[in-house]
Amino acid sequence: MTIVTVERKVLEKNDEIARRNRALFSSKNLFVINLVSSPGSGKTSILERTLEFFNRRVPVAVIEGDVQTDFDAQRIARYQTPVVQIVTNGGCHLDAKLVEDALGSLNLEGIRLLIIENVGNLVCPSNYDLGEAMKVVVASTTEGDDKPLKYPAMFQHASVLIVNKIDLLPYVNCNLEALKANALKINPALRVFETSCTTRSGIAAWCSWLESNLKP
């Protein structure tokens, strides 16, 4: 019972800061997504292909979360995109306070899209509101088709599912239709995209939909 109480207080404080973040995003006319997945699903590669597709036509800023190193931020900086790296030093997720602190290092003037790449983890990030408009969960074909059943909370809280690495379907033990069915069984409202960062299949569809959500 004590653990539940402590967790509730932590989440209540997080939600209070998330509301502040959301108010800031609204005042800046920003559309914000929280990109989540298990490690190795290809989140950063999808982010790179998204920036490549927009080609600076859409002003984007990025917050990178990782347990160690700034390797991902270095990759994103090559696209001449404003980026801040959050190193959690072993922490398994980003929280609203970490995002709030990172925002102090970003110039959001003129930015229309903010992408927060969360730490690779399908458990903890599902509980933490960062102030985003939506969570986008990435599941790769190399992980099999049962990820939604193993981590239902993440898929329940997400608005979009990106099934990545579809070019590897002939070589891995994954039934694409079963993966999508398992996810939609948990959350029938999920918008689903199928992508390959290698062949760039599905990237245009994902980016076009993402751009359609940007505020005027």
Q: Where are the domains of the chain?
A: 2-212
Please check the confidence at residue 10 and state whether its pLDDT lies above 80: no
Contact 98, 85 (CB under 8 A): no
Give this prediction's pTM. Answer: 0.93
Report the sign of the C-alpha dihedral through residues 100, 104, 106, 112, in that order: positive
Question: Superfamily assignment of 2-212 in CATH?
Answer: P-loop containing nucleotide triphosphate hydrolases (3.40.50.300)
Q: Quick check: helix, strand or coil at residue 69? A: coil
Bridge partner residues of 193 (DSSP): 162
pLDDT digits (tens, 9 = 90+) for 133-157: 999 999 999 999 999 999 999 999 9
pLDDT digits (tens, 9 = 90+) for 36-87: 999 999 999 999 999 999 999 999 999 999 887 778 889 999 999 999 999 8
Contact 72, 40 (CB under 8 A): no
Non-local (6+) Cβ contacts of 129 within 8 A are 14, 15, 18, 96
Residue 7: per-residue pLDDT: 55
Please check the confidence at residue 6 and state whether its pLDDT lies above 60: no
DSSP state of 29: T
